[in-house]
Each structure stands twice: as structure tokens, then as C-alpha cells.
Amino acid sequence: MSIDFSKTLEKLSQLFLKNNYELYMVGGAVRDILMNKTPHDYDFATNATPDQMLKIAEESNIEVIPTGIKYGTVTFRIDNQSFEVTTYRKDSNYSDGRRPDQVTFSANILDDLSRRDFTVNAIALNMLSNVNDYVDPFNGIKDIENKVIRTVGDPVERFTEDGLRVLRAIRFRFKLGFTFDAATYKAIMSNWQLLEHISQERITSEFLQIITYGHLDSAEDCYLIDALIKKILSEAYVENVYDCNWWEYKSLFEFPDIETKLAFILKNSKTDILDLCYKLKLSNKMSKDIVESIYCKNLFEEMLSSNDTSYIVRKLVSKCGKENTKRGFYLYDEIYNLTEKEWNYLIALLDHSDVEAIRLPDLKITGNDLIQLGFKGKEIHKALDYCLDQVLRDQSLNKKEKLIELAKQYKSNI
């Protein structure tokens, strides 16, 4: 395969070549190239120490940023682009189950590749060679060709070193469309306790990517996702002894966005849904969207007996907005299997809400109008809410004179 490196990468390569240091592209960029994908970013490794990298950059008048000198990483700024270059490393023990106790620099690329997580990420491309010169001590290229996720060395040992690798393995499986080798899958399924050493923020970051890319190709996938949710969100987990929640997870991965997927997972929570959102360290916006989506689904179920679907849709949009109302419809549809005609009708009503009076500012009456009618304090807001509810039922009532009559009617009844 021919690789077309930019002139900027050529400048970086020549800098190391003329100073007699090695330079390899490593990590995901190499994997992407081998999969005929364009890398989004590049990482490099070298036998030069951080001090030596700073020295050759200064001598060539190249801007550098000491990104992570402690860990051997220097960022080179060339043609307004940034490239991280890290000295080859060897790791010691991982006593906290997350990071090595000590990082030792090495002069051998094999040491650096040996410390990586999966074979598909343990391939190096020699930047100083005129041919596609790969260093592949763990047969990562073959695993890419066969679409297999396999750890470098013993999977239990590799996962025990860093429990986050359990989630990274699952993310790569779904994002790349690969499968696990038997030993890696077995190690994942028997070592969920390793996640207890990982911060919630890192777990959530990986989990959101997993459910973004996830899909069910086999019973293996189903048991994997089932065990993952049971570990991460036991409060919302619903056990199904017959098919490991196959149909639930199949539906999960078909939803259009992450908010709907999370709402679907959390809808059966035994504890407060907002508390679970806080547990996951989700943003306030995402938490609000999830809670409102579930609220819309539940309210839609409760209000269907009114047989006034137009009013129900307007009511939901008024309370939760158009997007969360639609998410609520997805959750409702998963349970009740709406026909195509029923679904299209709901979406048509939802779209039409854009030109309807849905919220208080849309009313042709204001708080000042009510004050002139003798309303005071909290009565004003309650009267406006009453008028809005009537307009949600009948849009023709949104005229000032009609709303004044409604307000008077409301006042006479309080």
C-alpha cells in the first residue's frame, strides 16, 4: 500500500534522520492506515530522550511544547501543526490498576510496542524508510486483516494492569467492526471488577462510545452488553433469563442519538433517574434531556385515554421541547410497536407544533393584562398556565379577547 505523507510530516522525519535518531508512527494512526482510513491524528515514538528532542528542535529553530516531559512526550509545532513524539518506554508494575508505578525510557521500539494494549495498536511504521517498513512483533497486521481484537500477551495480565482496557476492547470491537479472540473475550467477561479502579468520568466516556457504535451480531455481543450494563448501571438493570435482553439491546442500538439510548437504559431504574445521571457524571443538559424524554414517554402513556392526540403532543412540546418529545415517542414506540401510519401522524403533529402557540410567550395575553383584571402575585402565573392549557387544546382560543374571557372565567372559579 502506498502512503502519501504530507510535507510537514517529511520535515519532522528529516529532523530526526539528520540527528541520527529513530522515528516511528505508532498507535491508532498506523492501524487506520492499514485499514485504508485517513488518520485523525498522529502519534510518534523515538529513541531520543526528551532532552535530546528539545535540543534538536532548538538547533533547527522549531517550536516545541513540553507536553509531558515527565512521561517523555514533546510536541513539535511544524507549519502550524502539532505532532506528539514520545520516547520509547518500558512500564513497571501497575499497583493501582490504572497507571504504571514507574515509566522507564528505552532505546528499543520493541519495548515500547510490548507495553501496548492490543495487537492492532502495537504496530510501528518506520518514518525514516523509503518503503512501508512496519515493525509488527505481535502479528497485529494479521489481526487487522482477520478483524480480531487480541491483547498483547496474556489478556488477564493486560486488563489487570489497566482496567480501562476492558472498556477500550469493547469500544474497538464495535467501532472497528472486529470480533474478540476467545481468550480476550473470556478475560473481559470474568474481570468486570477491574472497573472499580477506574474513575467514573473515564468509564462514562468509554460507555457512551460503546453504545454509540454498538450493534448485535451474535449472542456473544448480547451477553457482553448485558454484563456491561449490569456492572455499570445495576440500578437500571432488568434481568431476562431467556435471551439476555436480546430484543432490548437490539432496540437500544437502533435509536438515533445517545440521549434516547441512555433514556432507554435508565427508564426502568429502581432509583431516581437524575441521581443515576449524576452518578454517570453526565452534563446538566444531557441529564435534563434524558429525564424529560422518559417523562414524555410516561405522560404520553397516561394521557392517551383523552383521545386528543393533538393536545397531548402540544402539551409534551410545551413542557419538554420538540426533541425530547420525539425521544419520548421513540421510547413509547419500542414498547407498543406503532404502525408506520401512527408514527407518521405523531411526527406530523410534532412538526406542526413549530407554527402553533405552545408556550407562555406565544399567548396573545400578558401578565400586565391580567394585573389590569385584578390578578395578583401567584394568581397571575396560574391564570396564564390555565389559558395556555386551553390554547393547547384549541388553538383558535389564542386571541386576546378570548383569553381575557378565559382569565375572567378562571378568576371566578378560584
In the chain, % of residues over pLDDT 90: 83
CA distance 86 to 99: 17
Assigned domain for 2 exists: no
Residue 76 · residue 50 · CB < 8 Å: no
Tell me, yes or no, whether 352 and 368 share the same domain.
Answer: no
pLDDT in tens, 202-234: 999 999 999 999 999 999 999 999 999 999 999
Amino acid occupying residue 175: K
Are the C-beta atoms of residues 115 and 128 closer than 8 Å to each other? Answer: no
- Whether residue 351 contacts residue 283, with contact meaning beta carbons closer than 8 Å, is answered with no
Q: How confident is the model at residue 28 (pLDDT cuts 50, 70, 90)?
A: very high
| Sequence-separated (6 or more) residues with CB below 8 Å from residue 409 | none
What's the mean pLDDT in 75-85? 92
Judgement on whether residues 30 and 140 belong to the same structural domain of the protein:
yes
pLDDT exceeds 90 at position 130: no
Residue 264: give the domain boundaries: 255-356
- Cα-flanking dihedrals φ and ψ of residue 228, to 5°? -65, -50
The answer to whether position 164 is within a domain reads yes
Same structural domain, 36 and 113: yes
Least confident of 162-166, 265-269, 386-390: 265-269
303 within a domain of the structure (yes/no): yes
Please state, for a pLDDT cut of 70, what percent of the chain lies above it: 96
Give the pLDDT confidence score for residue 413 in this predicted structure.
84
Q: Which amino acid is at 99?
A: R
We report the CATH number of the domain holding residue 73 as 3.30.460.10
Mean pLDDT score, 251-261: 96
Average the pLDDT over 365-371 and give the result.
Answer: 95
Q: Residue 405 pLDDT more than 50?
A: yes
Name the nearest CA neighbour of 46 among 140, 128, 153, 136. 128
Specify whether 219 is located in the same domain as 92.
no
Residue-averaged pLDDT of the chain: 92
* C-beta separation of 290 from 273 below 8 A: yes
Q: How confident is the model at residue 268 (pLDDT cuts 50, 70, 90)?
A: confident
Whether 213 is covered by a domain: the verdict is yes
Q: What is the pLDDT of residue 98?
A: 52
Of residues 7 and 263, the one with the higher pLDDT is: 263
Establish if 406 belongs to a structural domain: yes
17 and 110 together in one domain: yes
Summarised one tens digit per residue, pLDDT across range 88-111 is 998 766 655 556 667 789 999 999
Strands 124-126 vs 24-26: parallel, antiparallel or unpaired: antiparallel
Q: Within this chain, do residues 247 and 267 fall inside the same structural domain, yes or no?
A: no
Cβ atoms of 116 and 141 within 8 Å: the answer is: no
25 and 132 fall within a common domain: yes
Do 127 and 38 share a structural domain?
yes
Q: Answer whether residue 1 is part of any domain.
A: no
pLDDT at residue 176 in the model: 95
The three cell numbers of residue 180 are: 474478540
Q: What is the DSSP string of 271-328?
A: S-HHHHHHHTT--HHHHHHHHHHHHHHHHHHHHGGG--HHHHHHHHHHHHHHHHHHHH
Which of 356, 376, 392 corresponds to the end of one domain?
356
For the stretch 181-197, pLDDT in tens is 999 999 999 999 999 99
Residue 66 in 3-state DSSP?
strand
Picking from 206, 225, 254, the residue at the C-terminal end of a domain is 254
Tell me the C-alpha distance between 80 and 332, whole Å: 50
Residues 6 or more apart whose CB falls under 8 angstroms from that of 321 comprise 292
123 with 131: CB under 8 angstroms?
no
Is the pLDDT at 1 greater than 60, yes or no? no
245 lies in the same domain as 272: no
Query: What total of structural domains would you count in the chain?
Result: 4
- Is residue 373 domain-resident? yes
Same domain, 331 and 396: no
User: For the residues of 331-395, what is the DSSP string, one character each?
Assistant: HHHHHH---HHHHHHHHHHHHHGGGS--SGGGSS--HHHHHHTT--THHHHHHHHHHHHHHHH-G
Same domain, 243 and 137: no
C-alpha cell at 140: 497485529
Q: Say whether both 12 and 136 belong to one domain.
A: yes
